[in-house]
Amino acid sequence: MPARTWELSLLLLLELGLGSQEALPPSCESQIYCHGELLHQVQMAKLYQDDKQFVDMPLCLAPDQVMQRFNELVSTHNHSIPQQQLQLFLKEHFQAVGQELESWTPEDWKDSPRFLQKISDPKLRAWAGQLHQLWKKLGKKVKPEVLLHPEQFSLIYSQHPFIVPGGRFLEFYYWDSYWVMEGLLLSEMSETVKGMLQNFLDLVQTYGHVPNGARVYYLQRSQPPLLTLMMNRYVTHTNDTAFLRDNIGTLALELDFWAENRNISVSSRGKTYILNRYHVPYGGPRPESYSKDAELADLLPEGDRETLWAELKAGAESGWDFSSRWLIGSPNPDLLSSIRTSKLVPVDLNAFLCQAEDLMSNFYTSLGNDSQAMKYRNLREQRLVAMKAILWDEEKGAWFDYDLENGKKNQEFYPSNLAPLWADCFSDLSVVDKALKYLEDSQILTYQHGIPTSLRNTAQQWDFPNAWAPLQDLVIRGLAKSPSPKTQEVAFQLAQNWIRTNFDVYSQKSAMYEKYDISNGGQPGGGGEYEVQEGFGWTNGVVLMLLDRYGDRLSSGTQAAFPEPHYLAAALLLSLPLSLLPQ
């Protein structure tokens, strides 16, 4: 593709908000990795298959020198740099992706963690052993030169080594890390968990919040807030209350960020409630998906583009990038350009915060600080009331995202609709059995390979037919809280379905994936902005959790956990044993 002409570039720069009065502040400050003409020229030239590649490349020189050389090049070519020259420039001034990281074998990795012995099926036990081995492949450490010359890297320095998701994700991510840590604790690697926690706490100290991931281009947005829960899991596992005492103030700081910058008031029946939403009021295309965001904006009138970019970033902050969930209620719910993340009050975000408030009040109680414990207990109480008033639907037996502009709930199915069960954010256990009925009514239990992300088949990755590990965990552990054996049995069957899908794909491909396509007998997932990635941190974490919890019953065999309804009907009619039916 030819480089754009100067005229076009200028037009685009104007469109990108650099010349417009309503410009939102840029995503971050780096004139190379976050905004500016160099980023624009390189990304729009589409030299790489994935826009993330360029913004991950370290510099060979100081950014000022690189910019000076670039400005010379730009003026030599009158802002229309031929592709070959641009490539040569990159080769001379940038290093290959991943140079700033080295692989790291966790020091607390050991051969036979105890939980493996709880897994009865020998094939599943062997598989769990291989997943345990994978921590060594996913371990990374930042090289010291990033500390010495942070300006030459988009990677944010972190003092302690960590586990990454894998594939294109060479750095650590916020909400992914929670499920990674659950797996690490089963692998008896609490020192690794502590280091990762310390990295997150350091980010809160430096930036006031946990960024989406450890790159400068992720700085202005966060991800689903699970830091308090991470701390809870670590402290429960180790009894390291000294670490909790030292860092409780930083946890509070993170929750302040959500309270101050992500609050939204909602009125209903004459009362006003405060809840939270995802909201990222920063302009410009996301640097790591620059050309896609820029081209998407071309479909809109100039005045609407900054808002589109902000809503895309809010979608990324939700962790669900992207999904029909954030398009609902717009005049064009099939177009990503109608994304309106910040206009919805999400069930899962509020459940996560409700849980964090509960944990904080317990933490403060255990540290003997009653006034702070009271503060968080009150915050949780207020949130419970607000969630019941705004998000809960008694008739349907679930919670639903609230659409602020249309003044109503979004009644589509998403596993996140049951997040309050998982997060212990309810006051009456009877809601758990209502949730089972909700799943039955939504026909979710007919899917044999995993719980779908939504029932809308779009090209987005957080939609049907993709299924994601953390969402399986939300539903399974939510249902498992029920005192009813029937509901608990459904939780087990859902776990069995998910384990089988992951195990079958692993048996074929020797790899774990970030998501699975459940429409096709269970395959690596697809859709969205990039190719499906192997690794994979949170998928491994959830599999290990399920194998730990249900290891005495789970099977690697091929019998379907929920027989297809028509087979079931046929079996009843013919009184055949189910095991004789085709699978």
Ligand X SMILES: *[C@@H]1O[C@H](CO)[C@@H](O)[C@H](O)[C@H]1NC(C)=O
Which residue numbers are catalytic?
321, 514
Q: Is 271 left (phi over 0), alpha (psi -120 to 50) or beta?
A: beta
Closer Cβ to ligand X, 222 or 372, answer by number: 372
Give CA angle at 178 (449, 398), nearest 5°: 55
Q: Which two tokens stand for residue 45?
A: 């030239």
Q: How far is the CB of 382 from ligand X (least distance, A)?
A: 11
Closer Cβ to ligand X, 96 or 374, answer by number: 374
Query: For residue 469, what are the contacts with CB-CB under 8 A and spacing of at least 6?
Result: 179, 498, 515, 538, 539, 541, 542, 543
Q: Report which DSSP code applies to 173.
A: B
Closer Cβ to ligand X, 366 or 369, answer by number: 369
In sequence order, the β-bridge partners of residue 267 are 272
Q: How far is the CB of 579 from ligand X (least distance, A)?
A: 43
Total number of residues shown for the chain: 583
Measure the CA–CA gap between 477 and 345, rounded to whole angstroms: 23
Give me the phi and psi of 328, to 5 degrees please.
-60, 145
Closer Cβ to ligand X, 150 or 249, answer by number: 249
Q: How far is the CB of 187 from ligand X (least distance, A)?
A: 15
**Is the distance from CB of 38 to CB of 32 less than 8 angstroms?**
yes
Place of tokens 């809601």: 431
* 399 sits in which H/E element: strand 398-399
Q: Report which DSSP code applies to 338.
A: G
Which residues are at the interface with ligand X (CB under 6 A)?
A: 5-7, 78, 238-239, 249, 259-260, 263, 369, 371-372
Sheet holding 402-403, edge to edge: 344-345, 402-403, 408-409
* 72 sits in which H/E element: helix 63-76
Q: How far is the CB of 179 from ligand X (least distance, A)?
A: 21
Closer Cβ to ligand X, 7 or 298, answer by number: 7
Closer Cβ to ligand X, 6 or 520, answer by number: 6
Report the 10 Å Cβ neighbour count for 150.
Answer: 13
Residue 327 is which amino acid?
Answer: L
Measure the CA–CA gap between 300 and 508, rounded to whole angstroms: 44
Q: How far is the CB of 262 from ligand X (least distance, A)?
A: 8
Three-state DSSP class for 236?
helix
Q: How far is the CB of 230 from ligand X (least distance, A)?
A: 17
Residue 429 is which amino acid?
Answer: L
Query: For residue 344, what are the contacts with CB-CB under 8 A and spacing of at least 6?
Result: 277, 325, 326, 328, 329, 401, 402, 403, 404, 410
Query: What number of helices (H) and strands (E) belong to the chain?
Result: 21, 13
Residue 238 is which amino acid?
Answer: T
Q: Which two tokens stand for residue 103?
A: 């692989």
Q: How far is the CB of 253 from ligand X (least distance, A)?
A: 10
Closer Cβ to ligand X, 7 or 531, answer by number: 7
Q: How far is the CB of 438 from ligand X (least distance, A)?
A: 32
Q: Which two tokens stand for residue 552?
A: 């005495």
Closer Cβ to ligand X, 208 or 483, answer by number: 208
Closer Cβ to ligand X, 2 or 582, answer by number: 2
**Is the distance from CB of 297 to CB of 308 less than 8 angstroms?**
yes
Nearest in space to 473 (alpha carbons), one of 309, 561, 559, 348: 348
Q: How far is the CB of 399 from ligand X (least distance, A)?
A: 22
Query: For residue 5, what are the contacts with CB-CB under 8 A and spacing of at least 6?
Result: 79, 80
Q: Which two tokens stand for residue 158?
A: 């972190």
